[in-house]
Homo-oligomer: A and B are copies of this chain.
Amino acid sequence: MTAAAVSKPDNTIAVEMRRVAQAAKDASRPLALADAATKSEALRAAAVAIRAQATTILEANNKDMLAAEDRNLTAAFKDRLKLTQDRVDAMAVGLEDVAGRPDPIGRLLDERTRPNGLKISQVSVPLGVIGIIYESRPNVTADAGGLCLKSGNAAILRGGSDSLHSSQAIADCLREGLRVAGLPEDGIQLVQTRDRAAVGEMLRQHDLIDIIVPRGGRSLIERVMEESMIPVIAHLEGICHVYVDRAADPRMARNIVLNAKMRRTGICGAAETVLIDRAEAASQLPGIVDDLVQADCEVRGDTEARAIDGRIKPASEADWETEYLDAIISVRVVDGVEEAVDHVNRYGTNHTDTIVTDDVKVAEVFLSGVDSGIVMHNASTQFADGGEFGMGAEIGISTGKLHARGPVGADQLTSYKYIVRGGGQIRP
């Protein structure tokens, strides 16, 4: 092979993604060894850079917005893409919040001394290299990059191609933070190519990238889970349920259903289905429907629910499997907590489900029987959020059972190692 052939490979995207992943891997060891103060310094310096570069970031975002206009993208898409001075400030504040939290690395998880004198410590360590694949939401660049840095991981950020200018300006600030703190700036890398093939190449680098975190809609996440040769922390949709038991306080049931559905309809912790106990359905359902209809929420239900309240429209099988993310809710009458648990485990997405009841025994049946990352008793599903859990910023809510379940914050972006200290022990 000639030198020219080497320098002009057929597949430039594959070569470029290989280079990016190798650079991240190389940066990951010094990052893993960085102490808490140095990582915090990098995060705070990144926040300073974001504030100092606000004009540059907003100009870059303006370029992306103009291109989005030309491409006739939807209003919702453009809203996610758009940055304002407030949103830029929020990114800086977010990085400072992350900087101020406890270091997730070097935590002593377990410690024991064996009869032969070996002292075994289990200590948290970074995962290594994290690939984040997200949509055209530039603020994710700062949020996700910051959590990776906090947890001592190198990050390969692949944002939606429509946000490339904005994300680049933000990633530059994160890299500036690393430089200021004396850490390798390749610890944060933004994929430069707009070509979607870059994602496919990224998902193949299993010897260099330790974990993939997709952030976005169902089609993105399904594509990533299908294609990836690297383990994925899955954040599937949230089909969340409120079960109103016969022993529910009627006022509490109304408040929780209304809040779980309508506080914000577009988040993954919003409720999509109400299950109501047959024993008190006739007494409880009309009040619940009153509140929902008043809040302009469409209510769909099974035959039994519709017989109780004529305002309820017919629901089909598909309704039980739909994440509306909108002012629509489905209602089903069930025969007590066992049938409620069966429904949730069959149609739910293992995200967040709540029971309203004053009967503690019935609550325990629900809490242990429902196979979801978050199960609640007498609380709104809208609390499904790392911040509300006191875990700080999160990268999403994992609906998988492997590694991390529920809110994924900096603590969850870690692995562990066993450190064994001896005095010359050999095994008999």
- Residues of chain A touching chain B, judged by Cβ–Cβ distance below 8 Å, are 29, 32-33, 112, 114, 118, 120, 125, 127-128, 210-211, 226, 229, 231, 249, 252, 255-256, 258-260, 263, 345, 354, 363, 367-369, 371-380, 382-383, 388-390, 400-403, 405-406, 415-427
A26 to B369, CA, bound (A): 13
A233 CB, nearest partner CB in chain B, Å = 8
Given known A390-B114, A403-B403, contact A420–B383 (CB-CB < 8 A):
yes
Q: Which residues of B contact A363 (CB under 8 A)?
A: 421
User: Beyond A211-B402, A376-B419, A377-B419: 4 further Cβ-contacts under 8 Å?
Assistant: A33-B369, A379-B422, A382-B427, A388-B427
Q: Which residues of B contact A229 (CB under 8 A)?
A: 226
Given known A369-B33, A388-B427, contact A420–B374 (CB-CB < 8 A):
yes
A122 CB, nearest partner CB in chain B, Å = 8
Choose from B125, B231, B255, B377 the contact partner of A231 (Cβ within 8 Å): B231
B418 touches A378 (CB 8 A): no
A389 touches B418 (CB 8 A): yes
A229 to B401, CA, bound (A): 15
B418 touches A377 (CB 8 A): no
Choose from B127, B376, B382, B401 the contact partner of A128 (Cβ within 8 Å): B401
Choose from B32, B255, B382, B415 the contact partner of A402 (Cβ within 8 Å): B415
- Name, among A32, A33, A255, A368, the residue most crowded by chain B CB atoms within 10 Å (CB to CB): A368
A153 CB, nearest partner CB in chain B, Å = 10
**Closest 10 A/B residue pairs (Cβ):** A379-B422, A259-B426, A401-B415, A382-B427, A252-B424, A376-B420, A403-B403, A380-B426, A378-B422, A231-B402
A218 CB, nearest partner CB in chain B, Å = 15
A29 touches B371 (CB 8 A): yes
B378 touches A120 (CB 8 A): no
Among residues of B, the one whose C-beta sits closest to the C-beta of A407 is B418
B425 touches A379 (CB 8 A): yes
Among residues of B, the one whose C-beta sits closest to the C-beta of A354 is B420
- Name, among A114, A405, A421, A425, the residue most crowded by chain B CB atoms within 10 Å (CB to CB): A425
B400 touches A231 (CB 8 A): yes
Given known A263-B426, A405-B416, A426-B259, contact A378–B128 (CB-CB < 8 A):
no
Among residues of B, the one whose C-beta sits closest to the C-beta of A372 is B417
Q: Which residues of B contact A406 (CB under 8 A)?
A: 416-418
B118 touches A424 (CB 8 A): no
A76 CB, nearest partner CB in chain B, Å = 23
B401 touches A402 (CB 8 A): no
A421 to B259, CA, bound (A): 17
A99 CB, nearest partner CB in chain B, Å = 22
A417 touches B382 (CB 8 A): no
A260 to B425, CA, bound (A): 10
A145 to B371, CA, bound (A): 22
Among residues of B, the one whose C-beta sits closest to the C-beta of A428 is B263
B29 touches A380 (CB 8 A): no
B252 touches A382 (CB 8 A): no
A204 CB, nearest partner CB in chain B, Å = 11
Given known A402-B231, A417-B406, A424-B256, contact A33–B376 (CB-CB < 8 A):
no
B376 touches A422 (CB 8 A): yes
Q: Which residues of B contact A424 (CB under 8 A)?
A: 249, 252, 255-256, 378-379
B426 touches A382 (CB 8 A): yes
Q: Which residues of B contact A249 (CB under 8 A)?
A: 424
Q: Which residues of B contact A118 (CB under 8 A)?
A: 379, 383, 388
Choose from B114, B354, B388 the contact partner of A388 (Cβ within 8 Å): B114
B255 touches A383 (CB 8 A): no
Q: Which residues of B contact A378 (CB under 8 A)?
A: 421-425
Given known A369-B33, A400-B231, A427-B383, contact A420–B377 (CB-CB < 8 A):
yes
